[in-house]
Structure 1
């Protein structure tokens, strides 16, 4: 295969899936080089330590190391090898369990596709991952605590910590009072400092992050609308639809029709 500069690996414990993905995806047409195929996350980590990789196409449920554990391990490695912070991840899973979707979002996954998945859907997600890799302006799996532009990064250690908590736990029922308690400050003080340093209230910042992730999932994933709502912290489908329309001016269904990749 012709080298493109954008390198991808496949990790899946089922041989027929590995074979199908390697043979039926239009890798060269997408401008992506498939460099390795693994059946085990541990083997993939050993390879990634030594070889630069841009995209991971990984199953969730695998023996020895799950896809989620794999990406969590990459986050740790990225603390010493900064280039790993820009690895883009696409998860494939036969499990629609919300906890997997939520954890995938926390880890900065580009997409979460439920098996069986059409080749066209996988290729669309790969194209999106490559575009993000080329632009280098979106957070990868190790960048959740660095969402702000360095020039706009708040000076306050407290706000840096607060943003880190929001970035890693935005799918939960997150409250300013709870974060303030974790940081040993009063909610009023944290609220005032948060607005002063980010230009937004806590609730607006959290809402903006959630709508950004919901919009991405509506555009590129195969998840049901109610699953997306639950995955970004709104388990009530009606409330999620009303909230999303208020934020974007469109219902989730209309947004998906207009922006689907």
Structure 2
């Protein structure tokens, strides 16, 4: 059963409270009576102790009246909705509570249908707000995971998204892979790793902020520690997590643990450490967890493997640039601007872009702009100068020159030819 609305009823008249709570309980299984209170003081104690979404309260009550309760609720949690029940003589007095975001006013005596209609309205609004929060949380999680995935390969988090990182004093990285064989499992390797990711994030939450990143054949877990923790502490946490995975999912994983990173710039190196420690764990059956300090420098990846990691990083940088161009081509984009966003040298950034795409940044940007311009020019009602502005060219003469360079004809000639074909 899903509880949509937790409702607190406040009135100094017992029969009013009982009649109202009975009507609410019978109206819908999605409503829960969070409590009944006979005055504001009692109500506010309940609000502090239990989740409450909606308060239905009388105005005139002993100990603490409805207006003071509204003020206290607003200062404690302005998201709690309030419905005031008031007599005709008190209505103008009750309207003082508008500054405390009171949602509705109902004049006594009011029947149960009127009250239930108001409650239903708030339930729908509350449901919509909760859905919007869930969507926003998913969006935040997706963006965070994308940036953390890039960070593994040396792509810094853009300065405008720095605040997305959880607070930390140090970061440890765990690499996990399935211990072969997996023939007994009901999952394939990717499904198993995804299940490990979910249970790991959930179980680690009370200990440390954990974010899992899925790779092709292994899982990387960031451990953001708000205080400095020793490697031995991380080993203990990893050992307990291993037992949780084994007991709950019936899966065996091998784990590698990095040394701590004090700054995000150290993450690519720590990733390689944890990856190598995991590979050692996979090659040895004596234990399921290895730390990088146990593996030693002599067993770190060779130059070819490190170069391969770097190539992955370059590819991710280029993918990011292509996405930015596709999404932001109307803006005044420049290679330096993108380089500043990812904290990279613009010359180096331009070189790896050309190595991967075969084109310079400016050539590719103009190619995308011309492609979009051709699409817009299909509509003969739009003016060439309007298209010029919409695709990111600020100078119509330069737009015409560039368009002809890529297509062999001017924008006006292209539009005329398309109109003639109709």
Q: Which has the higher contact order (CA 8 A, sep 6+)?
A: 1
Which TM class, normalised by the smaller chain length? 0.3 to 0.5
Q: What TM-score, normalized to structure 1?
A: 0.46
